[in-house]
Amino acid sequence: MRQHDGGAIARQPFCDGRADAARRLGLTLAAVGKNVARLEGRLGVRLFQRSTRSLSLTEAGQQFLDEVGGSLSTIQNAVANLASAGGQPTGTLRVSMPANFGRQYIVPMLGDFLQRYPAISPDWAFDNRPVDLIAQSYDAALGGGIDLSPGVVARKLAPANRVLVASPAYLAEHPAPKSPADLHEHDGILIRSPQTGRIRPWALTDRSKQQAPITLRVRMTMSDPGAACDAAALGLGIALINYSEALAHLEAGTLVRVLPGWHVDGGSVSIYYPAQKLLPAKTWAFVEFVVERFRTERLAQLLSAD
């Protein structure tokens, strides 16, 4: 009899815990058990260690309990992280990035990224307009000169300098400017902001931090930096282009720097993501992968126009 009583006492935490959960949720004990089993089945992770005498949280179960004590988004992220705890990060990864920058520097990383994280499914948007991460439900975004909205953090990847470029054919017909004061004699291919529709009055900076205005004659405007590069390569004028956009043309010789001692300081290209206590594992994996790749391939140094 004492053995029977002892067993009942040992099982008491298990029964009381389920009974308390059942009372709070308005469910039967059996329904609570089925829902726990269903959650474990969906996550592919055991949350509880069960025996005839006791019920206790597993390590994964304790992690889940620690993480779900916040908002709905925190709980959703905890579910996503726990689902991947037994293996690789998983899920659809929604990222926005500038079209040309993304194609030149991020897409080439995709094969290695998917080899490391095969359970992640990229859903990438190539757009030169900044996005609202929270409102538009993006996991991350890349870009430069973006004002940080509440709930978003950024990690710098590389400088976002702009440079003046022209084709060798254009410079053969038009004497190359020797100083910023000579720019007013040249046709300009300028970029119109996709946000404001205006041409921003950038100022050039040299290595001694002196500044000078850009006084090109506006021959044409483009909303896409790649199109401006192509127009400059055709010999149609001098373009002010992100150095990252112009680099391939400069290496190929289809464009050359104009006033190479001067550039526009455009801040930094950064990777943006929600400032949540608990990020989905897929988002954290992507952010860390991109930061690591920029560091190991020295892309920040490559993209510096100094």
pTM of the model: 0.69
Class of domain 82-155+270-303: alpha beta
Give residue-wise pLDDT tens across range 118-132: 989 999 999 888 888
Read off φ and ψ for residue 178, nearest 5 degrees: -95, -20
Give residue-wise pLDDT tens across range 131-190: 888 788 899 999 986 767 778 899 999 999 999 999 999 999 998 999 999 999 999 999
> Closest Cα partner for 101 from 140, 128, 120?
128
Domain segments of the chain as ranges: 14-81, 82-155+270-303, 160-267
Is the Cα torsion angle 190, 247, 263, 164 positive or negative in sign?
negative
Residue 170, exposed/middle/buried by CB under 10 A (0-12, 13-18, 19+)?
A: buried
Give residue-wise pLDDT tens across range 239-270: 999 999 899 999 999 999 999 999 999 889 99
In whole angstroms, give the CA distance from residue 78 to residue 64: 6
Give residue-wise pLDDT tens across range 214-227: 999 999 999 888 89
Which strand (E) or helix (H) includes residue 279? none
User: Are residues 217 and 188 in contact, defined by beta-carbon separation less than 8 angstroms?
Assistant: yes
pLDDT at 107 over 50: yes
Q: Give the pair of three-digit tokens for residue 73.
A: 């988004």
Is 160-267 the same fold as 14-81? no
Q: Give the pair of three-digit tokens for residue 190.
A: 């300028």
Contacts of 203 (CB under 8 A, 6+ apart): 211, 212, 213, 214, 264
Where do runs of H (alpha helix) occur along the chain? 2-25, 29-43, 59-67, 72-83, 99-101, 110-116, 168-173, 225-233, 243-252, 281-296, 299-302
CATH 3.40.190.290: does it fit domain 160-267? yes
CATH 1.10.10.10: does it fit domain 14-81? yes
- pLDDT for the residue 12: 41
